[in-house]
Structure 1
Amino acid sequence: MSDFMLPDIGEGIVECEIVEWRVAEGDVIEEDQPVVEVMTDKALVEITAPEAGRITKLYVPKGEVAKVHAPLFAYEPADGNGEAAASAPAAEPALAPESEATSAAGASDAPAKDFILPDIGEGIVECEVVEWRIAEGERIAEDQPVVDVMTDKALVEITAPESGRVSQLHVPQGQVARVHAPLFAYVPDSAADEPASTASPQRTAEPAESVPAQRQPIEPRPEAAGYGPYGRIPAAPAVRRLLREHGLALGEVPGTGKQGRVLKEDVLRYLEEGAAQGLTAERAEATAPVAASGESEVGEVRVEPLRGVRAVMARRMVEAASTIPHFQYGEEIDVTELLALRERLKPQAEAKGTRLTLMPFFMKAMALAIDEAPILNARLDGDASEIHYLSTVNVGMAVDSRAGLLVPNVKHVERRTLLDVAREVERLTAAAREGRVDQADLKGGTISVSNIGALGGTYAAPIINAPELAIVAIGKIQWLPRFDVEDRVVKRAIMTVTWAGDHRVIDGGTIARFCNAWKGYLEAPETMLLHLG
């Protein structure tokens, strides 16, 4: 049995009223047959059957409200011969011996069950299917990873709720799946173990008169060229929506599916070929091959939708850059002594199973420097009328993951030992690069570090990770000549840093004093020992 989910039926529409059911429970339906009429706040919409089969349940009574992406009705798809699952006689007049009948029942397929995509994060209503880890027909075990999906915050792994066999993948890889909508269908082992029929093997056929009369399906009209049996061009709701988005009429696109059904591929192909009637000159120019003056034509432009973490980053960066007045401040830091200290401590950290990088030193020094300029660890309230000074230092670190830019943060840096911070940095970096950071690790940051030097950059003008008030971009370390106290030229490890502060509350003097304190701890790292609890 499959649930039919009420699809998107108009921009911004989240519910509709059931005006009239055109079928009843038990009715046999054909593909694209009108099933129900619903009323939105804009129009009366006719919902059609996605495929042939038999109606088993109507979830929403006439006159009640149905929710978009919620189950509307359930049906049993027809078998490969086009016959509904329930259209066979109730029983054979003469049956095989009980042992043979039982064997045949056990071999038949149990009804499939839809796995509904659950809530995967606060406020998340959709996600992109990144990779299916299984295929149709494969067996799955309970808690086995089934699919990776990308939300606007992180990569999430969906696991199997129970053991069974996958019968259908509802959402293709690269497409968007909706929360509370079917993601895949499977036949549970528990269902397969049950008897295929509740009827006794010795049962004889019942008289035809005793079978309850079923409502007659709508009589199909003679097929016209390019039209289905119900006098209309077959197309799924998602395809109709795609046509509306591009200003196309259904009749304009030649359908290649069964009975002239217009498929999504037909619409995309039609748009790519630029053959749509009324196609604007701008669209035609955009889809045409680009050629440089005096050169041969180049290949097609690859189009990739902006989704998931990258889409969120785009929105947040635009908002931060347009609403926060950024103040930039640059400095050079001599980290020669810091590098030497790290080399001495690395073997001890590795003995405890931890890789010691420079990032834990940057974070600990930052937490100490915040004591001298606490406003860098503060935030403004919603209407920018109050400054909230935070009691904990949660240092975020920008990580270039395969999902896009993620900024997990190490909590309570002011309380942790250097080794504790190193362990957290290692854990969060590994998780972020795989795009599998927990939501809790992405929330609550108070100040951020962007280590562009790891990729070879020297200077950057970072954008503040709102609602934080400051961020620092760390450049690469270079061995450069410098004068010592006796005016001799010596080789020193120099690191450039660039701060960005929210100029609504942080002025140049404040950020300079903070940076000097931070610099002091990094240039003479042994001084941090005086402040460690």
Structure 2
Amino acid sequence: MAAVTRCSSQLVRRLLSHQYKRRCFRVQQPRAFLSKLCNARLFHTTSVRLGPIMQFKLSDIGEGIMEVVVKEWYVEEGAKVAQFDSICEVQSDKASVTITSRYDGVIRKLYYAVDETALVGMPLVDIETDTGPEVVQEEDVVETPAMSREEHTHQEIKGHKTQATPAVRRLALENNIKLSEVVGTGKDGRILKEDILNFLAKQTGAILPPSQFLETQTIQKETQQDAPKPDLISKDLTEPLKGFHRAMVKTMSAALMIPHFGLCDEVDISRLVQLRADLKGLSEERGVKLSYMPFFIKAASLGLLHFPVLNASVDEACQNITYKAAHNIGLAMDTRQGLLVPNVKNVQLLSIFDIAKDLNRLQTLGSSGQLGTSDLTGGTFTLSNIGSIGGTYAKPVILPPQVAIGALGKIQILPRFDSNGQLVKAHILNISWSADHRVIDGATMCRFSNLWQQYLENPASMVLDLK
């Protein structure tokens, strides 16, 4: 207490002395004196003072993306934020990105309104931080699924709102779990502790306590939404195409410059129907739903081993062709965000169960609008399951720079004659192929289709070629 009194007395004497000298000698530089006085650190203040104001910029999120649309703000001016708190969601023409804070502090300025376009390298928000100036030069970076635990970052490309409390993020980090792979069951897709535990249980084979399992199931039921109701439009409405819709404009415009070769056929998958019925229960015991798509995808990959030209890409001028080593087979999905085509990576190295497991993940993320950039890029061959909606035939459009695509129709039970001439009930699948006729001739497409058909009509034959 005595030290504080002495310090205060010294301060008063300095101030009085300064005022006296100023009057007598007309000192013209009081700022220098105040600076020196502050540096003396002779007193403490009771007011809260934060650090420098940081301009939080939109960093390069890859894939040549130079601009994004701000879809939603999670903060407002004057709001306090902590590290990893969600700031906003932005959407490019490839994926949605949740921007999270690198700093603890207070939001001082939002640079964009909802639905405005933000440019890479330009500020998103100003944050008055409570940290020192040494962090000013740090740059925000982007997390991709390939990044290690040590490279944990503050902008996460996950295609969804990665909302989670610091405790949940810490739990994920301690267990080396990427939040991009976890589906949140909380409000607005928030990732809960139970989601992390559920994900960890699936990875390790552990069994959650009944209370946690029931609580998680209840949350999932509460977050389910009713079927959308029709929305009547009372007057004409014009709005710009943004995000995924604008990407579709570019992609399809480029695609229709390609001369397409079409081929349709039907496949009797009666044996596959029986095989899938036999394996369905075993797969579900492992926590994976087994549909027909893993068989279609694997059969396509086996066919591509014999016809690698169908797993290739061409440059824009069609002067060079690149044969792809990886079979990254895409599945066209109808989502609430529009047409998206995530792909299963390296199908040539996967079992049918592995494919089914990854498809479950992609379909879950797609249905909730949570697909990330890594899932949506790098495809080399595509299948479109139009039959999931009810179509029988289609004329699929190639996704450049790929050179081939197939559209699967719905499976129908129809009368057919067997090898003995007997009328039987058969499960018939219609397939429609499109190929880039600049590099793919009709005979090659037809031979590939025949091989794909043979694998599915006699699925046991796939066992001989599985690696």
> 2:324 corresponds to which letter in structure 1?
L
**CA-atom RMSD, angstroms?**
2.6
Match of 1:17 in 2: none
Match of 1:522 in 2: 456
- Structure 1, residues 301-349: CA drift from partner, whole Å, max 9, x if none? 1222111222122111111112x11011111112222122112212222
How far the C-alpha of 1:357 sits from its partner, in A, is: 1.7
> 2:323 corresponds to which letter in structure 1?
Y
Instruction: Determine which of 483, 492, 498 is the counterpart of 2:426.
Output: 492
Query: Are residues 1:145 and 2:86 paired?
Result: yes
SS at match of 2:302: helix
- Structure 1, residues 269-308: CA drift from partner, whole Å, max 9, x if none? xxxxxxxxxxxxxxxxxxxxxxxxxxxxx83212221112
Query: Are residues 1:313 and 2:248 paired?
Result: yes
Instruction: Determine which of 45, 51, 55 is the counterpart of 1:102.
Output: 45
Match of 1:302 in 2: 237
How far the C-alpha of 1:434 sits from its partner, in A, is: 4.3
- Structure 1, residues 16-55: CA drift from partner, whole Å, max 9, x if none? xxxxxxxxxxxxxxxxxxxxxxxxxxxxxxxxxxxxxxxx
Query: Are residues 1:393 and 2:327 paired?
Result: yes
SS at match of 1:186: strand
Instruction: Determine which of 55, 58, 61 is the counterpart of 1:114.
Output: 55
Aligned length: 330
Within 5 Å, give how 1:138-287 maps onto structure 2: 138-190=79-131
Match of 2:221 in 1: none
Instruction: Determine which of 268, 291, 310 is the counterpart of 1:376.
Output: 310
Match of 2:260 in 1: 326
Q: Is the 8 A contact 1:452 1:458 kept in 2?
A: yes
Match of 2:389 in 1: 455
Moved more, 336-345 or 153-162: 336-345
Match of 2:72 in 1: 131
Moved more, 516-525 or 396-405: 396-405
Query: For the structure 1 residues 489 and 411, does the alpha-carbon distance in structure 2 shift closer, same or farther, using more than 3 Å as the test?
Result: same
SS at match of 1:185: strand
- Structure 1, residues 118-174: CA drift from partner, whole Å, max 9, x if none? 112242221001122233333322112221110111111111112223333221111
> 1:183 corresponds to which letter in structure 2?
L
Query: For the structure 1 residues 124 and 345, does the alpha-carbon distance in structure 2 shift closer, same or farther, using more than 3 Å as the test?
Result: same
Q: Is the 8 A contact 1:169 1:184 kept in 2?
A: yes
Match of 1:338 in 2: 272
SS at match of 1:127: strand
Query: Are residues 1:429 and 2:363 paired?
Result: yes
Query: For the structure 1 residues 321 and 137, does the alpha-carbon distance in structure 2 shift closer, same or farther, using more than 3 Å as the test?
Result: same
CA distance in 2, matches of 1:187, 1:346: 56
How far the C-alpha of 1:468 sits from its partner, in A, is: 1.1
Within 5 Å, give how 1:66-81 maps onto structure 2: none
SS at match of 1:522: helix
Match of 2:405 in 1: 471
How far the C-alpha of 1:111 sits from its partner, in A, is: 5.9
> 1:162 corresponds to which letter in structure 2?
Y
> Which has the higher Rg, Structure 1 or Structure 2?
1
CA distance in 1, matches of 2:317, 2:52: 55
Q: Relative contact order, CA 8 A, sep 6+: which one is greater?
A: 2
Match of 2:169 in 1: none
More helix by share: 2
Q: Is the 8 A contact 1:409 1:442 kept in 2?
A: yes
Q: Is the 8 A contact 1:155 1:403 kept in 2?
A: no
Q: Is the 8 A contact 1:154 1:403 kept in 2?
A: no
How far the C-alpha of 1:508 sits from its partner, in A, is: 2.1
How far the C-alpha of 1:426 sits from its partner, in A, is: 2.1
- Structure 1, residues 173-212: CA drift from partner, whole Å, max 9, x if none? 1111111222122332437xxxxxxxxxxxxxxxxxxxxx
SS at match of 2:391: coil
CA distance in 2, matches of 1:158, 1:330: 45
Match of 2:436 in 1: 502
CA distance in 2, matches of 1:411, 1:347: 25
Within 5 Å, give how 1:395-414 maps onto structure 2: 395-414=329-348
Moved more, 507-516 or 360-369: 507-516
SS at match of 1:157: strand
CA distance in 1, matches of 2:358, 2:240: 33
Query: Are residues 1:361 and 2:295 paired?
Result: yes
SS at match of 2:45: helix
SS at match of 1:414: helix
- Structure 1, residues 420-454: CA drift from partner, whole Å, max 9, x if none? 11122222333344444443333332211111111
Query: For the structure 1 residues 381 and 121, does the alpha-carbon distance in structure 2 shift closer, same or farther, using more than 3 Å as the test?
Result: closer
Q: Is the 8 A contact 1:335 1:494 kept in 2?
A: yes
Q: Is the 8 A contact 2:96 2:372 kept in 1?
A: no
CA distance in 2, matches of 1:116, 1:379: 35
Match of 2:220 in 1: none
TM-score, normalization by structure 2: 0.65
Q: Identity of paired residues, percent?
A: 42
Q: Is the 8 A contact 1:309 1:403 kept in 2?
A: yes
CA distance in 2, matches of 1:455, 1:300: 30
SS at match of 1:370: helix
CA distance in 1, matches of 2:380, 2:352: 19
> 1:300 corresponds to which letter in structure 2?
K
CA distance in 2, matches of 1:392, 1:109: 51
> 1:306 corresponds to which letter in structure 2?
L
Match of 1:203 in 2: none
Instruction: Determine which of 352, 360, 370 is the counterpart of 1:418.
Output: 352
How far the C-alpha of 1:351 sits from its partner, in A, is: 2.3
